[in-house]
Every structure is written in structure tokens, then in C-alpha cells.
Amino acid sequence: MQRTGLLIVPGIIAVALFLGLNTFNSPGNNPNNPSTAANLDFNAYSEGINTILYDVDGRINYTLQAQRQVHYNDDTSELQKPFIRLFQDGDSRWNIVADSGKISSFETASNTRVDRIELIGDVQVY
């Protein structure tokens, strides 16, 4: 009877480990599974971005830096710790920092594209 107990206990432990590991590695938990990847609502992710935009004369119009940027399928972007530097006549005029931000765009009735940046949390302009 004691020998049977010695065989049953390790068997139960082995079955429990197998079921636990099998559940953990199921297809629903696999990030490489195509069905899981299809549910993502973003199409780009960047860290440590530094963007420079120029005017029509080739002078710097503004710069945008952020710790992280996520671009979503609806053509919006979220920024973590954005830093914007605005230039006028080639000289830095304004610096803007915030905890986070959101970039979106839309078209007006005259088919002109307008980009909008919303800054959120401890916004400072100097």
C-alpha cells in the first residue's frame, strides 16, 4: 500500500505540471500567433525619436523629440515626454515640454490637411 502511494504522488505531480505548462503555452498566449497579432491596433512603435521639419526655404521650422511614439492604425500617434522646439527665421523661439501628447490630422472642406498636437500633463512653454 505504501509503495502504491509512493508511485501515485509523483504521478499526480507530473500530470499537474504537464497540464500547467500546456495551459501556459496554449496558442492563445503565444505572441507570435498570427491571430493574436491581427488584433493589434497600432502599426509602428519607436523609442528615442528626433524629428526635424523644414519650411519651404529649407530652414528648420520645428523639431520634435520624444521618449516613445506609438502610431495607431487610425493615423494618430501618442507621444511620451514630448519636447517641441519652434523656430522663427532660423532661430529657436519657443520650447514646449509635456508629460504626453497626441498627434492627429484631418482634412478641411478645401482639402487642406491640418495636423494637431495635443499636449497633456505638466505642459511648459518657455
Q: What is the pLDDT of residue 111?
A: 86
Under 8 Å between Cβ of 90 and 60:
yes
Backbone phi, psi, residue 30, to 5°: -90, 115
Q: What is the pLDDT of residue 41?
A: 86
Q: State the pLDDT confidence band at 94, using cuts at 50, 70 and 90.
A: very high
Whole-prediction pTM? 0.62
Q: What is the pLDDT of residue 34?
A: 53
C-alpha cell at 107: 482634412
Backbone phi, psi, residue 78, to 5°: -110, 140
pLDDT tens-digit map of 23-80: 555 555 555 555 545 566 888 889 999 999 998 889 999 999 999 999 998 889 999 9
Closest CA relative to residue 67, chosen from 99, 104, 103 = 99
